[in-house]
Structure 1
Amino acid sequence: MSHAPSDTITWGMMLRKLPMIAKAIPRVVKGMKVVNVTDPTQSCGLGWTFEQATLRNPDGPALLQGEVSLSYSQVNQWANRIAHYLSEQGIGKGDVVAVFIENRPELLVTILALAKLGAVSALLNTSLTRDTLIHSVNLVAPVAIVVGEELLPAFAAVRDQVSIAPQRSWFVADQDTCNHPGIAPEGYVNLISASVDASSENPPSSQQVFFDDPCFYIYTSGTTGLPKAGVFKHGRWMRSSTSFGMIALNMRPDDVVYCTLPLYHATGLCVCWGSAINGASGFAIRRKFSASQFWSDVRRYRATTIGYVGELCRYLVDQPASADDNRHGVRKMIGNGLRPGAWAEFKTRFAVEHICELYAASDGNIGFTNILNFDNTIGFSLMAWELVAYDHDSGQPVRSADGFMRKVGKGEQGLLLARIDEKAPLDGYTDPQKTAKVVLHDVFSKGDRFFNTGDLLRNIGFGHAQFVDRLGDTYRWKGENVSTTEVENLLLQHPQICEAVAYGVEIHNTNGRAGMAAITPAESLATLDFAELLAFARQRLPAYAVPLFLRVKVKMETTGTFKYQKTRLKNEGFDPGQTGDDPIFAWLPGTQTYVQVSDEVLAEIHQGKYRY
């Protein structure tokens, strides 16, 4: 991310924001009261918040998709029927239920029903298959699963390797089940038709959910190669939905959020849906993002707010310009990953007043939000945080001679650490050992504790920061976090590969980092069938994790501690001029094999001839 000196926030810039700050203060004060739920007996969380929104706006639209438009009352009653039915089936507080449905109203109604019971939704990534899917399910030992018809083949393929009883395997047809519940295949129970006659009153259990109760498990890339399940508690739901919905966006019942992001991720589920619920606003969703249909959807749903990730904005900017580009009602957008290079262009072309860029790790305890509408920043955080010096090769924070860590100066980039305390507890992972690995002790003084985010930020003044990059063994591509270890483990299963190192590399004018792997053939380069190797990877990895570039090495160099020299590999990237005798191969869009990168192919990639 390029850093322009103009991104630094000055006194003059702050003074110009004073009227906006004055207007926001009452909202911030009110929001802070809602956010800081500390009474362990106070009802709170997703189910309770949705019931409050229903009282506030019973007939207003709550969920919109295609021809389906459901009011707050309709969604609330539907979720209540499912909750009462599941309760009769023995699902109760603390029970984990895996949810495997694509972006559609049934997904959100199921999650809402479970939240009202105090049960925990394990939100399976809908692009998972085979071993990664088996691991994700078994990791949280669910007592039941709810599967959408569209994902039945993926689940059926692994069903005998996860232990969930057929009577606890609920099915949701792939259609508007409000009016047509469909028929479940053998071995599954139809959740919608089974719950149709249950009570539509709010279940008493939704008043018995408190801030420390888990709400979801949201999966993040694990450094061991397989996903980790981060715990997202109801107290955090309150903090997230209020911070973004009330404090940052000032959502109202006449607002509509349009979200095409996957709802198994925190940005779509907690930030976008949470903001809508907080304002008793409409929430319009789409199965899969479409650049060509985006603005016509926005107009159709009369959206005032959009959810984004950086890649989504780039795809929209890449669409041919149209006279309709600024003919819509969107005034604000919320999301993360919009690069400074694309920020001004997006804001100008699509006439969006407020880009509410945020930073929040679904497995962390800190969030930043661009409440004051500065450009090129993730905003500020109400939590305590510091940026510290780190080792470029290991990615670990460095300690000075006195044993404590060193803070970096204004304008410098450093590793973001977030203080863990009562105001900012760390919910952690389902695996306590995984949680222990991200907690740092005695950072600036004896006894203090900080969460290591693994992300690099830059302090640009007045408590505001800019996102720089993520460290360690994950990189981000197509809005998804890719685990390098998962890619390496998969490549090593190929009989013709004996060593593999995966990492992310930058392609000019794209967001995030594209996947690249250095591989050592088991025999020789001549024995590698690149079309077969690509097919092998595409069958077994989610589309966003398939390496776009390969570097073939006779021998892999390692450090003295036998670690691969990833930093050097990353820096040399896919430029054959930098990689010595190692040939580079690329999977070009629309092709079925890897081709060798010549100077000509490299030039074409840099010129943007291929759309990644």
Structure 2
Amino acid sequence: MGIGGAVNRVLATAQNGLEVLRFGGLETGTEPAPFQVVETEKMFRLRRYFPDDEDSVADVILVHPMMVSANIYDVTEDKGAVSVLHRYGITPWVVDFGSPDREEGGRERTLADHIVALSRIVDIVREITGRDVHLAGYSQGGMFVYQCAALRRSEGIASVITYGSPVDVLAALPLGLPAGIAAPGAEFLADKIFPHISIPGWLARTGFQLLDPVKTARSRLDFLLQLHDRDALLPREDQRRFLEDDGWVAWSGPAIAELLRQFVSHNRMMSGGFVINGDLVTLAEVTCPVLAFVGTADDIGQPAAVRGILRAAPKAQVYESRLPVGHFGLVVGSVAGGQTWPTTAEWIRWRDDLGPEPEDVEAMADHADESGTGVTMSSRVQHGLNAVADAGVAAGRDLVDTAVAVQRTSRAIAAESVRTVPRLFRLGQIQPSTRISLGKLMSENNRRARNKELFLFENRVLTHEQVNTRIDNVVAGLISCGVRPGQRVGVLMDTRPSALVVVAALSRLGAVGVLLTTDLDISVGIKIAEARVVIADPNHLEVAREHSNRVLVLGGGSGDARVIEAADGESVVDMEQIDPAAVRLPSWYRPDPGLAGDLAFILFTRGATFDLTPWPVTNHRFAISAFGAASAAGLTSTDTVYCLPPLSHPSGLLTTLGATLVGRSRIALSNGVDAKTFSTEVMRYGVTVVSYTWTMMRDVVRSPDFEIDQHNPIRLFMGSGMPPGLWAEVLESFPRAHVLEFFATADGSAILSNLSGVKLGAMGRPLPETSDVEIAAIDAENETLRVGADGFIEKAAVGEVGLLLSAARHRFATNGPVLSDVFAPHDRWELSNHLFRTDSAADLWYMGATASVIVSRDGSVYRPPIEQALSFARGVDQVTAYRVQVGGGLAAGGDDLAVAAITARAGSASAVTVSTLRAALGRLPAQERPHLITMVDSIELSESYRPLSSSLAAQGVPKPGARVWYRDDEGRYRRFTKAVATERGWE
């Protein structure tokens, strides 16, 4: 290049540079595509491009991200989205949310506002065109599209198209941030920062550029180096100006906070259960076809995150189209103009039966087992990224993610994690005078997270603040009805939000909740507990009136009259008619007065002798269970706990409600236990933890209607009493989850949990910070504890059945007898009525209550091992074991027989054979096997799904027949005939 050329280059550079300084860029002469604003509302303006074209064959709604201008779909005249789509006969409709800093109320916009507005736009376009529409969105606009389709359950949507839109956000975050760090950080920002500020457009632009600083710097350098060559710059000038200035709009703080909380911290695009204006929504209910464009060099909407849609929307046909570009290149630039938008147009025509399947589209494959983000090193190098730095960040992220994964899969670590230590520390500091109760926990959570969701029920969402307000209103109603602190009040209600509110209100008032169930003798329970008032829901009103002269009704449908006087003097008070604002709170009222040593609840159970037994629960007992279960289960604010048990069962009140409050998790309540409801609500609510009792999960996993996506969000089942055979089936049906079994004595002196989940049927070991336990040896002949040569009680040997003792805490009153100097001088141990044995690894196995042991001529027979063994038998459904006395029983010269009743699974009765039973019971010593096994048509279940044997025991010895087997002298089973019954005196 000569001197003249150099001079011309300098002059051209100066001239072009001056134009850039004066006007912000070079004049390209391009004109935007024509459009008409067809609808204007507070949240949006809806543009219809090429409004005079009457030959449209399809319609697509294009949605921009919150921080990017709607003009992104018309950046370049020939290669812009709207122009390309129009050439294919498709009408582009572009949503313009505007810039929040220039719109009325824009800075207060929430994420839900955008989704609801988009759903409204779908209705508008359908009304104008008379046909379903395709919904397309770039980046976060694609997230809006997914969420809108989920909210509408795909109604009116022909297909969904997204461009670099992450679904499994935590699978691959920008800048290689590890999920274990990003999730809690996002929650902090959502709670503390963004509710109070918004992001201006210039900051949004800067943030986007900082996500790829190398590429930004290189683009600017290239622009400066070519500033002399106007012809080279003009084709990319509109794109450059859009990125550098024109394309960015402000971002409202509440919308950012909601995005961070729901879709980063809790990753609810994947798990489901995100909330749009009070409605629970899940991508699992998207049924329309989906096309996701994947940028193989996209470090913002990374391939691993984008491909999460395949697992999140199992009912949809999901396709992908891969492009060798970064995030912005998916929608703007030469590749977008030559591939993205023509492929989009071909997809739309194909889905509307107007053309063939596009060549660049294929069914999305499941990459769930692949590691990394999906952005290959070669893609990064190809697009000029800092490969070495990115590789280092990715390696760091993988290391942290691996550490987090190891932590989550190690059950023992749950009690040692950072979030668990404060819980256990608080638990260890509780004194009898410590103020702690269910009501106080709810008050504390309300102060910390008043606007966060607490209860999910029937597709409704209640926040901590809403629930807390309702509790206070019920307290006012209780006070107006004369209820006082310390008073015992019966509660007879279905497990609904109103029932939980009542229990919490009684706790806040300082009264004692007596949890009643219809499958127990309510009159006896009321008499034992001295409950002179019963609170019922409308479903239980008539039953409550039969057993109490003072009934308070809470819940809809209880009538218009506030007080209904019956002829016999009973009164029914409709608490829904009480105006809490009109109730004057007395001077003695103090919210949440409960101390650790105070009685909080009374539960009931039927023991081995079928007698109704009260379970008094102090606030300390409640706290031990709640904090211990939350720690063992690793519950956090990211969890949604699905409560199947009734509140009247310890698993419902203590393990589920209590642990959920301690973990600050959401609690989802069900309308019943069945396979279809379970599968639907798990996905809709985003359930991560399922609580159960006894055989509840049988109605789910053994139902012919049971279907659930293999990528469901459940990680844990927690509860008590699950038969190990059913336990194994649950693990088979949910291979990514595990089962956490709890066992607790009635007074709470001992709480055990099977943290490892490896030994099906084992009770495990004591929870951290709960009482130590020992198994004391028994002198069976004298029915006492066995004393050793040193005068102290002997500990049971490995495998030996003994009595469970728990270390007595001096500062708390106990319900059972306490012995001193048991194993060592000055020790104190509380006796339980439960028998256990210990295996070689020090895990405890339940052998039943002392009263449940069947002592026959052959020796002691324990019911739980029989029930556990038979639960594994092929073809067996339900099992229960019980005692039958013949000839007046062993004490009268007769005998006590152990009988096991079984039911067969549907269509599997023929699979239950002598060989099946023998194999199932083979691990038990012959003398500990049941004397008789009978196959019955059904086994009665309690309200908590516990198999009941009282009615079977009342029938006596099973009648001989083809479905009854007896144990011979060698421990084998044979057909039980009338001759055998006569010979053995079992008639």
TM-score by length of 1: 0.70
**SS of the residue 2:416 aligns to:** helix
Distance 1:469 1:292, change over 3 A: farther
> What does residue 554 of structure 2 align with?
172
Out of 429, 435, 458, the residue aligned to residue 837 of structure 2 is 458
Residues 335-392 of structure 1 show CA distances to partners (whole Å, capped at 9, x for unaligned) of 1234444444422321243322222123331112234554434332132111122356
Q: How does 1:71-82 map to 2 (within 5 A)?
A: 71-82=463-474
Out of 522, 535, 557, the residue aligned to residue 889 of structure 2 is 557
Q: Which has the higher contact order (CA 8 A, sep 6+)?
A: 1
Query: Counterpart of 2:822 in structure 1: which amino acid?
Result: V
Q: 1:310, 1:450 → 2: CA distance?
A: 29
**Is 1:570 paired with 2:898?**
yes
| 1:198, distance to aligned residue in structure 2 (A) | 5.5
Q: Percent identity?
A: 22
**Is 1:253 paired with 2:660?**
no
Residues 303-351 of structure 1 show CA distances to partners (whole Å, capped at 9, x for unaligned) of 1101123422444342348662534211122112344444444223212
Out of 180, 189, 195, the residue aligned to residue 573 of structure 2 is 189
> What does residue 626 of structure 2 align with?
241
Out of 580, 589, 597, the residue aligned to residue 938 of structure 2 is 589
Q: 1:395, 1:15 → 2: CA distance?
A: 46
Q: 1:397, 1:91 → 2: CA distance?
A: 46
> What does residue 404 of structure 1 align with?
792
Out of 849, 867, 880, the residue aligned to residue 471 of structure 1 is 849
Distance 1:174 1:470, change over 3 A: farther
Distance 1:469 1:33, change over 3 A: same
Structure 2: segments with no counterpart, 5+ residues: 1-405, 566-570, 855-862, 903-913, 915-925, 941-950, 966-972, 975-987
Q: 1:275, 1:78 → 2: CA distance?
A: 21
Query: Counterpart of 1:170 in structure 2: which amino acid?
Result: L
Q: 2:705, 2:673 → 1: CA distance?
A: 19
| 1:171, distance to aligned residue in structure 2 (A) | 1.5
Q: How does 1:243-322 map to 2 (within 5 A)?
A: 243-245=628-630, 247-320=631-704
Distance 1:514 1:44, change over 3 A: same
Out of 528, 531, 535, the residue aligned to residue 142 of structure 1 is 531
| 1:66, distance to aligned residue in structure 2 (A) | 1.9
> What does residue 24 of structure 1 align with?
416
> What does residue 773 of structure 2 align with?
385
**Is 1:54 paired with 2:457?**
no
**Is 1:418 paired with 2:797?**
no
Residues 385-421 of structure 1 show CA distances to partners (whole Å, capped at 9, x for unaligned) of 1112235689754344655322123454433211212
Q: How does 1:600-611 map to 2 (within 5 A)?
A: 600-602=962-964
Residues 502-538 of structure 1 show CA distances to partners (whole Å, capped at 9, x for unaligned) of x99749326885265647xxxxxxxxxxxxxxxxxxx
Out of 207, 214, 218, the residue aligned to residue 603 of structure 2 is 218
Contact 1:220 1:227 in 2 (8 A): yes
Contact 2:884 2:898 in 1 (8 A): no
Contact 1:261 1:288 in 2 (8 A): no
Distance 1:256 1:573, change over 3 A: closer
Out of 876, 880, 883, the residue aligned to residue 514 of structure 1 is 880
Query: Counterpart of 2:793 in structure 1: which amino acid?
Result: M
Contact 1:60 1:253 in 2 (8 A): no
**SS of the residue 1:362 aligns to:** coil
Residues 527-554 of structure 1 show CA distances to partners (whole Å, capped at 9, x for unaligned) of xxxxxxxxxxxxxxxxxxxxxxxxxx5x
Q: 1:270, 1:444 → 2: CA distance?
A: 31
**SS of the residue 1:26 aligns to:** coil
Q: 2:687, 2:561 → 1: CA distance?
A: 31
**Is 1:443 paired with 2:822?**
yes
Distance 1:465 1:588, change over 3 A: same
Q: 1:371, 1:471 → 2: CA distance?
A: 23
Contact 2:423 2:627 in 1 (8 A): yes
Residues 42-94 of structure 1 show CA distances to partners (whole Å, capped at 9, x for unaligned) of 43211110111122222222222224432111111101111123234432221
| 1:278, distance to aligned residue in structure 2 (A) | 1.1
> What does residue 499 of structure 1 align with?
none
Contact 2:475 2:509 in 1 (8 A): yes
Deviates more, 1:366-375 or 1:412-421: 366-375
Q: 2:466, 2:508 → 1: CA distance?
A: 15
Distance 1:250 1:21, change over 3 A: closer
> What does residue 754 of structure 2 align with?
370
Distance 1:458 1:195, change over 3 A: farther
Contact 1:150 1:174 in 2 (8 A): no
TM-score by length of 2: 0.45
**SS of the residue 1:239 aligns to:** helix
Distance 1:283 1:590, change over 3 A: closer
Q: 2:522, 2:844 → 1: CA distance?
A: 34
**SS of the residue 1:312 aligns to:** coil
| 1:457, distance to aligned residue in structure 2 (A) | 2.9
Contact 1:44 1:234 in 2 (8 A): yes
Out of 705, 708, 721, the residue aligned to residue 324 of structure 1 is 708
**SS of the residue 1:264 aligns to:** coil
Q: 2:689, 2:656 → 1: CA distance?
A: 9
Q: 1:170, 1:516 → 2: CA distance?
A: 39
Out of 514, 539, 542, the residue aligned to residue 153 of structure 1 is 542
Q: 1:47, 1:279 → 2: CA distance?
A: 15
**SS of the residue 1:473 aligns to:** helix
Q: 2:412, 2:515 → 1: CA distance?
A: 38
Q: 1:181, 1:243 → 2: CA distance?
A: 44
**SS of the residue 1:142 aligns to:** coil
Structure 1: segments with no counterpart, 5+ residues: 1-13, 429-434, 476-483, 485-502, 520-552, 608-612
Q: 2:676, 2:524 → 1: CA distance?
A: 36
- CA RMSD, 1 decimal: 4.2
| 1:151, distance to aligned residue in structure 2 (A) | 2.1
Q: 1:86, 1:22 → 2: CA distance?
A: 40
Q: 1:59, 1:225 → 2: CA distance?
A: 46
How many residues of Structure 1 are paired with residues of Structure 2 in the alignment? 502
**SS of the residue 1:308 aligns to:** strand
Q: 1:22, 1:144 → 2: CA distance?
A: 42
Contact 1:584 1:597 in 2 (8 A): no
